[in-house]
Chain A
Amino acid sequence: MLKIEARGYESKFWRYASPILALLLTGATSGLIFAAMDRPPVLTVYTFLIVPLLEQDGFQALAVKAAPLIMMGVGLSLAYRANVWNIGTDGQFTLGAICGGGIALAFPDAPSLALFPAIVAGGIIGGMLNGGLVAWLRIRFNANEILTSLMFAYITQYLLVYLVTGPWRDPEGFGFPQTALFSDNALAPRLIEDTNVHIGVLLAPLIAIALWVMLEKTLLGFQFRVLGQATRAARFAGFNENRLVWVAMLISGGLAGLAGVLEATGTLGQLTTTLSPGYGFTAIIVSFLGRLNPIGVIPAGLLLALTYLGGDAAQINLGLPNAVTGIFQGILLFYLLGCDILLLNRIRWVRSKPKAA
């Protein structure tokens, strides 16, 4: 029989090995699921994780997908380190896109140099607004941020649907639920001509590094870490818990808003109802896979981005439903949280139940 035993300390080895073990288990489990669906498991996993990278521009597509995930994952690791459980990044992402997109639609002829920064600012402010509301509700009414942030995610999604099917719908769009295309002035600058590789691909790792520095090297970051590990000690030190909750929600919300507006102006070029294929929720997995460390979030974001591309490839090449991506991500999060038990515990094989003395 297997037995779980407390180690009495945190294993350094498993801190890094546990996400890798989770990945292997996820690969094995999804292989089993594919086998149960009568697909060749190895080929399917191969199609899912390797094929997208072999395609022409595979890495560019990967980077573009990963950029929003990394931005949001970084903001979330900061918040989660301080025990601020922002679950609604998807809503902050969407509100960012709506605010930025609104500016893009309202001033299509403004010069690019003024318009794009305004759009980005609008996006960030939109995300912060959403995040700030959550912070305010927690501080003012002691409302649980897990619930409120999640509720806001639904509200903003309906707001988006209302806007693109109603007032903002493209009159020449044949009734599709989408806005007009943004003017060229409003689009995110490209890093490489004639590709989707927009400025966000450069910003994401820079933001990750900046937040890592903030978390590890500054007084503010120290305050976040103490608050997450010992609330009483944070109070003893005189750190203002409410202020830290505000900052955590504004940063994670603002970064989600930035990700949203860059997605709208960088890859889509308009607003549609399917703006976010669950990016905000995937970002939660990204932050945990990255061990709530902004630098770790970079590879984690790339990996989860791959699952989106893999889902497309599996759909095209093997006729699997797109939901495979969600299943894969769900299994990964499950194993990720499960494997963390190894940090503080070891699993031992015990022959028979020891008799009570």
Chain B
Amino acid sequence: MLVRNESIAPGPLLAMTGMTKQYPGCLANDQVSLTVERNQIHALLGENGAGKSTLVKMIYGVVKPDAGEIVWEGQKVTVPNPGAAQRLGIGMVFQHFSLFEALTVTENIALGLATAKERVGLRGRILQISTEYGLPLDPDRVVHDLSVGERQRIEIVRCLLQNPKLLIMDEPTSVLTPSEVQKLFVTLRRLASEGCSILYISHKLEEVRALCSAATIMRLGRNVARCAPAEKTVKELAEIMINMDLHRPTPRPPVASTAPPRLVVDRLTIRSHNQFGTDLKDISLSIAGGEILGIAGIAGNGQSELMDALSGEISAGKPESVLIDGVAAGHMGPADRRRIRGCFVPEERNGHGAVTTMSLADNAFLSGYLRGALVRFGVIDKKRTFVFAENIIRRFDVRTTGPKAEARSLSGGNLQKFLVGREVLQDPSVLVINQPTWGVDAGAALAIHEAIMALAQGGAAVMIISQDLDEIFVLADRIAVIAGGRVSEPVATRYATVESIGRLMGGTSVIADSSAEMAHALSDAR
């Protein structure tokens, strides 16, 4: 528990005015102000690329402001680096984590601590904090083998160890399941009541309304509003944010039951290549052309293994265990599967779906060179690659300076739009996406959803793997649940409820050993 007995100076905890940051070709923050009160959970809202991450990085000393004033507990301060921020009592959980894959949880946390003294009894304190705040974490596991959700918990625990007065969270819930989100909220509310304010960035406006008592809204690098989120509807909030009105994607006509299957997974069984990964057990699925299958599940239940086995990054064992348009593809690598029109979007953007230090054009080439015919006699066709990248940027409204921009200069959501666009524009007959709208704002999520639906409408078989049940219910024709490396019998979306699916996802104890039982549980829930 965080104990505070210092005398508290009056006035807000943090008051920033005139914060300005110019990137080459992009004014990311323009005279932005932000005030966070004590004990407050304060939301920072804005569409992708609005400048939210840039603003909080300036608070945390990662990005140097060009202008602006930061007043912390009544004192004007400069924050030259994260160390200084931590000494002030500011902790931050980044949108993209900075963990060493080869080290354990404890080792990673130890690395962030300044002195050897702080490391004494670290393992015990990690366990204590993680149980106390409902953040289950095994201190001895190697990060490489952890899911995104688990990695986030490391970052949160890492911050809490420092007894922060302000905890900044950049899109923390985009990787969590509903029940995990509820638990996190309990944690956050408790922190706030104990005197740790929270600055909360999220695109999930429902959550913001439930959690936050104040909100600052940004658009195109400027402040546009301050409000109490509970007093506005989600629709109103979104419209202030993106200055356009939102609608639900129009439902598609049901798929003809006679449509032939385009993606067939037949008794797919593989051992995970990670020591702590999840083995895939006897997965059988079939997706018809024009159909969208949603795979729901809590992170770390075999989603990344399934993704890798479908994309060909790991061999799926027997050739017949994966059929793309009737072609046995289980033994093929990713390039051969793309040749037969399979396209894939992995969950992790940085270093997996994209090479962050390379340009967008290079990243467009990365997975698009085969289907886009971007190579001639072994030589890269720079012109066509450029056009392809420009096309993605235009069609998916990616906010960037152009195809020459480095991938890492894009905001998280914009890079996601680029990566989804890259695959969708390759006209796949089978598309598998892991977490399609991770970190994407409401407007962009709608755009991605519509693109996926249009693709299915055009006859492609689409599999979306997502923890976001809302998303699955909006998109999928049928829903299956992955748990412990097994996939349940899919149910038609109109017969499923959020509760029934959520119950199958939650807690492995509920998940019985055979998928038949799962299907049974589902039909009960109807």
Residues of A within 8 A of B (CB): 5-6, 8, 10, 217-220, 222, 225-226, 229-230, 232-233, 235-240, 354, 356-357
Please tell me which one of the listed residues B335, B351, B362 contacts residue A238 in the complex, with CB atoms under 8 A apart.
Answer: B335
Interface size on B, residues (CB 8 A): 37
**Chain B residues near A233 (CB-CB < 8 A):** 351-355, 366
28 A-B interface contacts by CB (under 8 A): A5-B81, A217-B379, A217-B380, A218-B378, A218-B379, A218-B380, A219-B369, A219-B375, A219-B378, A219-B379, A222-B365, A222-B380, A229-B358, A230-B352, A233-B353, A233-B355, A235-B313, A235-B334, A236-B311, A236-B313, A236-B334, A236-B367, A237-B334, A238-B334, A238-B338, A239-B335, A354-B87, A357-B87
On whether the beta carbons of B362 and A222 are closer than 8 Å, the reply is yes
Chain B proximity of A324: nearest CB distance (Å): 39
Query: Which residues of the partner chain A approach B337 to less than 8 Å between Cβ atoms?
Result: 238
Question: B358–A237 contact, CB under 8 A?
Answer: no
The reply on B312 being an interface residue by CB < 8 A is: yes
CB of B233 within 8 Å of the partner chain: no
CA distance A236 to B378 in the complex (A): 20
List residues of B (112-144) whose CB comes within 8 Å of A's CBs: none
Tell me how far the C-beta of B207 lies from the nearest C-beta in chain A, rounded to whole angstroms.
29
Given contacts A5-B81, A238-B312, A238-B333, contact A232 B367 (CB under 8 A): no
Whole-angstrom distance between the alpha carbons of A218 and B352 in the complex? 21
Q: Does B18 contact A (CB under 8 A)?
A: no
Decide yes or no whether B178 CB sits under 8 A from chain A.
no
Give the residue of B336, B355, B375 whose beta carbon is less than 8 angstroms from that of A226: B355
Q: A8-B63, A220-B378 in contact; A237/B351 too (CB < 8 A)?
A: no
A229 touches B355 (CB 8 A): yes
- Give the residue name and chain of the A residue nearest to B311 (CB): A236
Q: Say if the beta carbon of B285 comes within 8 Å of chain A.
A: no
B89 close to A (CB within 8 Å)? yes
Contact assessment for B333 and A236 in the assembled complex, using a CB-CB cutoff below 8 Å: no
Q: Select from chain A the residue with minimum beta-carbon distance to B80.
A: A5
When chains A and B are docked, how far (Å) is the Cα of A220 from the Cα of B348?
A: 25
The 4 closest A-B pairs by CB, nearest first: A238-B335, A238-B334, A357-B87, A230-B351
Q: Please, how many angstroms separate the alpha-carbon atoms of A236 and B311 in the complex?
A: 8
Q: Which of chain B's residues has its CB closest to A216's CB? A: B380
Contact B352 A219 (CB under 8 A): no
With A5-B81, A230-B351 known, 12 other A-B pairs at CB within 8 A are A10-B357, A217-B379, A217-B380, A219-B375, A230-B356, A233-B352, A235-B334, A236-B334, A236-B346, A238-B335, A238-B337, A357-B88
Give bound CA distance, A357 to B346, whole Å: 42
| Residues of B with C-beta under 8 A to A8 | 62-63
Residue of B nearest to A350 (CB): B80
Contacts of B351 in A (CB 8 A): 230, 232-233
Digit string of B361-398 for contact with A (CB within 8 Å is 1, else 0)? 01001110100000100111000000000000000000
Interface readout for B61-97 with A: 1 if CB under 8 Å, 0 if not? Answer: 0110000000000000000110010011100000000
Q: What chain B residues lie within 8 Å of A10 (beta carbons)?
A: 357
